[in-house]
Chain A
């Protein structure tokens, strides 16, 4: 009964979304208050309905209702409760349902937190979100029903893919979707602005906190995905340039460009066309990612069931959304006015350069991801594009952008002086360069890649400190209290940039100095790596809740003589028969020791792979700081203050706010 209820509620939600997507839009065009007022309650109703549907599916999983096909295929009687819950979004159907719930959640949030926006704007934004929701709900109802029943009812399920039975998987998809879907709000604001024909600073200000929040979630989602791959795939890698990873990196790059472009649009009224285009592009790339992962167009480690009808459905939807908005852009964009002017060297021009590099990097990733498809479709042969390509093109495009991170925040709006800035930053530049050049010499000789990476990281860190110092130079004795009183947006930016620097250190060090050994080990034998001594004490059988593990005992002695134990496993899952490597990791501030157990060779001999990964943890620490910065910036009270001001009748015209005294 519960599954049918869930299905019914999804259909109901589709109907609600259809109304939400049409009537308020009509109301906004005609100036009909009653129709516009429908948007908010409808958005909240949709969220409630979809939350119910999601609970129904989760209930079926938790109570082992194997008469539901989705449950039978992705759960198992012995699966622990937490994984039964996460299995709710472990399949294509379930994750699509999660997607729609999150979309409805964002819409409901817009409905609640936009009391101060003009009604017309709210109606349009919620209607656009409703239309996006219609597409996904239709996909769910017509091609991917998660509540489909199965007859005869199987005695037990086929178990959740063992790769997904992991802590990282509990939170990775919801966070990623929060990001992907969150950009739909930025998209909706952009479309609403195009429809109203007013692309001004006010529009940018309204969409900024939403965009930054979505970006924060996406950052966390991508980082968690990488952490999951590191721990769970057993290869010790953290980024594989797999199409699925690229599918999440592309909206992230576009979103990063967008939050920077919006800053310029809000503060100075410039780049508004570009910001709109980026908002559309960012969400489009999120949709493209969905298509790539679920249609089977590219081969990837992700294993969603491949079905051409679904692929076609998503593609048609993708075409409608992107094609429609690009047509709207083409028709409406010319009407818009250009913003304020700026000199060739100014914060505006630096933000523009940042955007150019980010979008070029995005283009390179997009090209590499789709190149095999292009060639294949043109009948020019089948190839695959490997990490060599991505590393070769991505690094040179991102390095200048990283360098600009150091300058941009210190340059003035409108017109900055290059000689003055160079003079002020001479120490930051010099010290960063010398340190970065000398450090590799203390390790294993000259290494230009390391020098470049460390230089950029140190440069960013020093300029972040400089940024704080500059803010406080006239602060006087209560300097520390002043520091805490700096705007959250400023703190957020600085924190995020520092996080980026830490991330760069992690990437640089682990790519250049990681070592690994692949050895066969009889019981009692040992292997040495990077000063660590690994002793193999054999493998014993340990039963898990839904698997049987061969668990190795490894004793590791560090170069400083401290020792610790690690227990890598090879798990054999009961239901699916899948064999999985569960790597064991000893985390450290400056290095991870990572062991993955290979295959048995008989007589207690096993193949074992041991890794020493310097600074790998900095990758995720940096990403976490990036996200914290984003969260802090989005929570800046300024956005709420501005919104409150809009309530006053006959408030100042939107563009005038760009000329208002600077808060940042």
Chain B
């Protein structure tokens, strides 16, 4: 009987590998999807004295985009926000670890794609959002619940295929 054990192991492994063929390993969803967006209050970049908190936009559907001034892909993504998305849905920025204080002049020079960008200089809020890379974008609904997370830059194609259907579902 013992001699059949290797065969049994192989068969079990084969079954898993077969199932694996029809799964997509690249998709690791954020555990935050379906939960309330972590709360924070942070100063707004380029507007001394002003702060922003998710509670301020309760009742709206909005995007939270994590970016950094030293992230060249994020700067390319800004163009997409300005040209394509800005009129559709408000985009708020979370400026991650801007240790060199470049965000404010950069946004002033290029024109900010954000309604407001907040300054997460020590990256603590980003940790609570489980940010691993920049850029990342969260879709947050009327109740302040995260409905979707996208890792990597938003291209026009991604916007059409991934974001629009979700946003359409959120509109009354």
* Residues B23 and A373 in contact, CB atoms below 8 Å apart: yes
User: CB distance A384 to B28 under 8 Å?
Assistant: yes
Residue pair A376, B70 in contact (C-beta under 8 Å): no
| In the complex, chain B residues whose CB is within 8 Å of the CB of A280 | 6
Chain A residues near B72 (CB, 8 Å)? Answer: 599-600
B27 CB-CB contact with A under 8 Å: yes
Q: Give the interface segment out of B10-18, B78-86, B138-146.
A: B10-18
Whole-angstrom distance from the CB of B53 to the nearest CB of chain A? 30
The answer to whether B70 touches A330 (Cβ under 8 A) is no
Q: Are A291 and B17 in contact (CB under 8 A)?
A: yes
CB <8 Å contact, A323 and B10: yes
| B14 x A315 contact (CB < 8 A) | yes
Q: With a CB–CB cut-off of 8 A, which chain A residues contact B22?
A: 308
CA distance A190 to B7 in the complex (A): 16
A329, A333, A598, A601 — most chain B CB neighbours (10 Å):
A601
A591 in the interface, Cβ–Cβ < 8 Å?
no
B-facing residues in A580-603 (Cβ within 8 Å): 598-601
Task: Identify A329's interface contact among B6, B16, B20, CB under 8 A.
Answer: B6
Which of A122-130, A292-300, A389-397, A551-559 lines the interface with chain B? A292-300
Partner of B19, one of A329, A377, A600, A607: A377
The residue of chain B having its C-beta at the shortest distance from the C-beta of A284 within the complex is: B10
Which A356-395 residues have C-beta < 8 A from chain B? 370, 372-374, 376-377, 382-384
Given contacts A299-B26, A311-B21, A373-B25, contact A318 B70 (CB under 8 A): no
A308 to B, closest residue via Cβ? B21
Q: B148 to chain A: closest CB distance in Å?
A: 15
The answer for the CA separation of A319 and B10 in the assembled complex, in Å, is 8
Is residue B171 within 8 Å, beta carbon to beta carbon, of the partner chain?
no
Contacts of A476 in B (CB 8 A): none
B3 at the A/B interface (Cβ < 8 Å)?
yes
CA distance A370 to B100 in the complex (A): 42
A215 to chain B, nearest CB (A): 22
A327: Cβ under 8 A from any B Cβ: yes
Known: A296-B25, A372-B25. A330 touches B6 (CB 8 A): yes
Q: Determine which residue in A297, A599, A600 has the highest number of CB atoms from chain B within 10 A of its CB, and name it.
A: A297
Chain A residues 273 to 300 lying within 8 A of chain B, measured CB to CB, are: 277, 280-281, 284, 291, 295-299
Q: For the complex, give the distance between the alpha carbons of A291 and B21 in Å.
A: 10
**Residues of B contacting A601 in the complex (Cβ-Cβ under 8 angstroms):** 69-70, 102
> What is the bound-complex CA distance between A177 and B50, given in angstroms?
61
Q: Which of A329, A374, A520 contacts B100 (CB 8 A)?
A: A520
Decide yes or no: A326 and B7 within 8 Å by CB, A297-B25, A299-B26 being known contacts.
yes
A309's closest neighbor in chain B, by CB? B21
Is A370 within 8 A of B6, CB to CB? no
- Would A277 and B28 be within 8 Å (CB), given that A315-B21, A373-B20 are in contact? no
Cross-chain contact of A377 among B6, B16, B69 (Cβ < 8 A): B16
- A376-B25, A382-B28, A599-B72 are contacts. A315–B18 as well, Cβ < 8 Å? yes
Main SS at interface, chain A? helix
Chain A proximity of B81: nearest CB distance (Å): 19
Query: How close is B135's CB to chain A, nearest CB, in angstroms?
Result: 13
Q: Which of B7, B17, B20, B26 touches A323 (beta carbons < 8 Å)? A: B7
With an 8 A cutoff between CB atoms, is A312 at the interface?
Answer: yes
Cα distance, A299 to B25, chains bound together (Å)? 5
Chain A contacts with B in 297-346, Cβ cutoff 8 A: 297-299, 308, 311-312, 315, 318-319, 322-323, 326-327, 329-330, 333-334
List B contacts of A308 (CB < 8 A). 21-22
Residue interface mask A145-186, B partner, CB < 8 A = 1:
000000000000000000000000000000000000000000
Interfacial chain A residues near B18, Cβ < 8 Å = 312, 315
Question: Is the beta-carbon distance between B14 and A318 smaller than 8 angstroms?
Answer: yes
User: How many whole Å from B71's CB to the nearest CB in chain A?
Assistant: 8
CB distance A322 to B10 under 8 Å?
yes
Measured between beta carbons, the chain A residues less than 8 angstroms from B16 are 370, 373-374, 377
Shortest Cβ distance from B24 into chain A, in angstroms?
Answer: 8
Docked pose: A327 CA to B20 CA in angstroms: 24
List residues 19-53 of chain B with CB under 8 A from any CB of chain A: 19-23, 25-29
Task: Give min CB distance, B119 to chain A, whole Å.
Answer: 18
| C-alpha gap A382/B33 in the complex (Å) | 13
Q: Smallest CB-CB separation from A370: which chain B residue? A: B16
Min Cβ gap A647→B in Å is 35
**Interface-centre pick from B21, B28, B71 (highest chain A CB count, 10 A):** B21
20 CB-based A-B contacts, threshold 8 Å: A291-B17, A295-B20, A296-B25, A297-B20, A298-B20, A299-B25, A299-B26, A312-B18, A318-B17, A322-B14, A330-B7, A370-B16, A372-B25, A377-B16, A382-B28, A384-B28, A599-B70, A599-B72, A601-B70, A601-B102
Residues of chain B at the chain A interface (Cβ within 8 Å): 3-4, 6-7, 10-11, 13-14, 16-23, 25-29, 69-72, 100, 102
Known: A329-B6, A601-B69. 7 other contacts (CB 8 A): A297-B23, A297-B25, A330-B4, A330-B7, A373-B25, A374-B16, A382-B27
Question: 3 closest pairs, A vs B, by CB?
Answer: A377-B19, A326-B7, A297-B20
